[in-house]
Amino acid sequence: MENGSLIYDKSKCTGLLSCLAGEAFHRSKELAIAKELGVILENPDKTESFELYNSGESERMLALVGEEFGIGVMQTPGKPKEVTAKLFNPHEVIQDLYREMPLDVHTSVVAFDGYIEDGGRLGEKVALLFFKLSANVTGEPAPPMTMEDFSRKTSTYGAVVSGNGIEYFEFIKCCDIKRVSSINSPLDTSLEKKELKEELEKFIKSRREVVASDEE
């Protein structure tokens, strides 16, 4: 291994090295999280299959993510017209009021197996992840895990998880989608990205606790 070059001169690049080291550290951490997520998403609390081409809102949402990131959704084995959603119990509950009525607002994850489209062939495996909101009147049973309330309003934010890391997205007006961050800029410190990373970490922490309780 060489100690330097014309492009990289250690004696002149102290500030640059600090920046590169920070970027490498953050990227390494993100890749580790992506790997752990890959395992977590293989163990949902419930699954629900539905016909993709007759699902309206769900179909459009998956299509928008697919077009933006160049990915497709895995079909249910043996049922070429169906896809399977992986549903997870809420990882966060927040109390709020609506017209003086107390509500429990739940955040949960809905995920799909996907793949990178490679000239019509199935490429690298990826996961599509959505943060879904639901609510119940405080004191009443929590809403059931279901795809019936899956929409751009209840599931505005999500992420694509691959071996290269995590990319976040948001559904916006006019039936469109935008990337919140890029894997190419792991040092992005925007408030939106920071909050989505924190939400993802809450989900991961909750699933670790589930695994720990199962092992006891």
Spatial distance between the Cα atoms of 118 and 80, rounded to a whole number of angstroms: 19
Considering only residues 21 and 153, tell me which one the structure prediction assigns the higher pLDDT: 153
Residue 127 CB neighbours (<10 A) = 23
Spatial distance between the Cα atoms of 132 and 157, rounded to a whole number of angstroms: 8
Spatial distance between the Cα atoms of 31 and 38, rounded to a whole number of angstroms: 11
For residue range 27-36, what is the model confidence (pLDDT) as tens digits?
Answer: 888 888 999 9
In the numeric block, which tokens belong to residue 114? 């996907």
Burial of 211: CB neighbours in 10 Å, binned 0-12, 13-18, 19+: exposed
Query: Which pLDDT value is given to residue 10?
Result: 61
The pTM assigned to this predicted structure is: 0.83
Question: Which residues is 92 bridged to in the sheet?
Answer: 107
Query: Which pLDDT value is given to residue 183?
Result: 43
Spatial distance between the Cα atoms of 194 and 201, rounded to a whole number of angstroms: 11
- The DSSP H or E segment spanning 65 is helix 57-69
The DSSP string of 189-211 is: --HHHHHHHHHHHHHHHHHHHHH
Query: Which pLDDT value is given to residue 171?
Result: 92
Q: How far is CA 187 from CA 24, 25, 28, in A?
A: 10, 10, 12
